[in-house]
Structure 1
Amino acid sequence: MSNLFVERSLEEIRFWSRIMKEHALFLRLGFTVDQPKLVQEADHFYNVFENIEERAAAFTSDSDREQIARFNMEVYQATTHIWAFKRKVLGLILSCQIITNNYPLLVDHVSREAAYFMNRLEQLNKGILEPLPDAIINENVFFLRLMADHAKFIAHLLDPSERNLIADANDFSYQFDQLLFQAVDLESMRPESQTGPMLTRFIEENRPAVQSLRDFKQTARELIEECRLRSNIHPLLADHTFREANRFLELLDRFEASLTAGSNSLLK
């Protein structure tokens, strides 16, 4: 049990600390020259999460459980601070106190990811290692919204001359909005919706859509790296969204395995 706790904790921190670090970079790149204090704060958070990322890489699956639990809480505190920074920036944008090159929805998006990371760290330290039926629905709602947001960001950051790719991104936006609405409907049908077959079907319907979007992001990333795409998309942002789609696919596999294990235990 303790090894699984350590492995899951390090897995979450290694993935999300890099995401948080990159969020700080994207926010920094969006600030204008007359916003040096915000640039400085973003740089601070970049350094904080780069340090966390490096420290997480030094741990192993044999690391002491209590040490990892303390590390989880330390990372949790750092994440609360970057979450507060993101919400502050969003408030400044929405109150027209600053103008940045980041969409308000993008700033809200990255703050939701920080809140998700905080919640995962809390769950781990409470001993919740495997996804429960509630978590399966909630996490799909969370990730489907992220994927819908990504499609919208891609459509709006592509050059207007990239008509075919913009149309593809808009199609993905619509598709994931529909999947999100379906997930929200399922969420409101609790506890009746928390049956193995119902949740399994839910996962099976989401997976091909996520795979298609992941492949679309991969193509866009390669075109950007090869300087064959007209856009305002930073190469790191393209890779960032690709990794998050891959993460969602990994979690869908984990959810399905958890449901299968649960069904088998009921049959014994």
Structure 2
Amino acid sequence: MNNDAYVQQSLELNLFYLRIMKEHAYLMATSFPPQEETITKEALTFNTTFNELLNKTLELAAGIVDIGEDAVTDFTLSAEEKTARLTGIPIDTAPTKAELKLPRPEPIIDDNLTEKVNLINLRALSATRNFIRFKTKVLNGILTCDLYSTIYPLMHDHLRCEAIGFVEGLNKLQGRTPLIETPKTESEELAFWNQIMAEHAEFLRGYLDPSEDALISSADEFVQNFEALNKKLFQNITKLDNFGKLVKESRKLTKDTQAFNTQGLTWMLKCEVKSIMVPLLSDHVLRETNHYLKKLEHIKRGEKRLLESQ
């Protein structure tokens, strides 16, 4: 893996995941009761750490990579502003404003930039490993009924799994290994992200007011369809032809999910849906859906190259 690929893939991975980690910390902090001051402050410290890393990554990314819709959407700034107002906990919106104004890439990658990106990766690895330990402590506290949180236990585990996925991606890049390189890796990515999409729909369903029958029904359908896809994936994991069909089915279902999430976020920002979900979480889920669609395009191109080589 040459320096150009290392720098570009590292920046893209960090632009996506550092914001995700920053928001995990924020959402966790808002979920604890007032008496849990220590653990709330710990979560907010992680939020600050990831926010600083995101700002440094943005400085390096300017003119080097495109800012995709998995890094920031047209809704992100409004979602941050409204969420901060609703929770009373400030959100630094400077990274969002900076991302929306980043110049088009004209990459000039030299040894100096490569070393700076390497340092960002190392700092992100250290921070995320510590965050995983924190998330594990929180989840264990909830499961033993020693800690209360308005976030479901499954969602806390979901947040931890995403942090583990970030660490795995950084470790690959630090070993100068492309993020997706073999059919086995691609099938694992498909299974992981289909499960993430199914759980998103489960959480959304739980955050909706019981009177939102149509939206709850749609969320249920997404859960069932993603779980059915993964069942078929595990049954056909060694069959390339079937795998190609599953990639196509996953892409179609994820596109439908993207449209559903976009509509839901639009309604939420206009206060046209009854829910206890903050807008930032809705935008967060939309960005993760956009990220999976990017991965599916990458998998599709890799599958095509493999078929052509046979």
**Shorter-chain-normalised TM-score: which range?**
over 0.9
Give the aligned partner of residue 289 of structure 2.
Answer: 245
Corresponding residue to 1:231 among 270, 275, 279: 275
Corresponding residue to 2:165 among 116, 123, 128: 116
Query: Deviation at 1:223?
Result: 0.4
2:177 and 2:243 map into 1 onto residues whose CA distance is 19
Aligned partner letter, 1:138: E
1:219-264 CA distance string (max 9 Å, x none):
1000000110000011000000011011101100011112222333
1:165 and 1:199 map into 2 onto residues whose CA distance is 30
Q: How does 1:102-113 map to 2 (within 5 A)?
A: 102-113=151-162
Q: How does 1:158-173 map to 2 (within 5 A)?
A: 158-173=208-223
Which stretch shows the higher mean deviation, 1-10 or 64-73? 64-73
Give the aligned partner of residue 182 of structure 1.
Answer: 232
Name the TM-score, length of structure 1 as normaliser.
Answer: 0.93
- The question of 1:217 aligning with 2:266 is answered no
| Contact 1:123/1:129, CA 8 A, preserved across alignment | yes
- The question of 1:148 aligning with 2:198 is answered yes
| Contact 1:137/1:186, CA 8 A, preserved across alignment | no
Give the aligned partner of residue 128 of structure 1.
Answer: 177
1:263 and 1:186 map into 2 onto residues whose CA distance is 17
Segments of structure 2 that go 5 or more residues without pairing to the other structure are: 65-108
1:4 and 1:122 map into 2 onto residues whose CA distance is 15
1:123 and 1:176 map into 2 onto residues whose CA distance is 27
Which one has the bigger helix percentage? 1
Segments of structure 1 that go 5 or more residues without pairing to the other structure are: none
Q: How does 1:46-125 map to 2 (within 5 A)?
A: 46-60=47-61, 61=64, 62=109, 64-125=113-174
Give the aligned partner of residue 43 of structure 1.
Answer: 44
Q: How many residues align?
A: 260
RMSD over aligned Cα atoms: 1.3
- The question of 1:259 aligning with 2:293 is answered no
Asked which structure has the greater RCO (Cα within 8 Å, sep 6+), the reply is: 2
Query: Deviation at 1:67?
Result: 3.1
1:137-174 CA distance string (max 9 Å, x none):
11111101110000000111000111111111111111
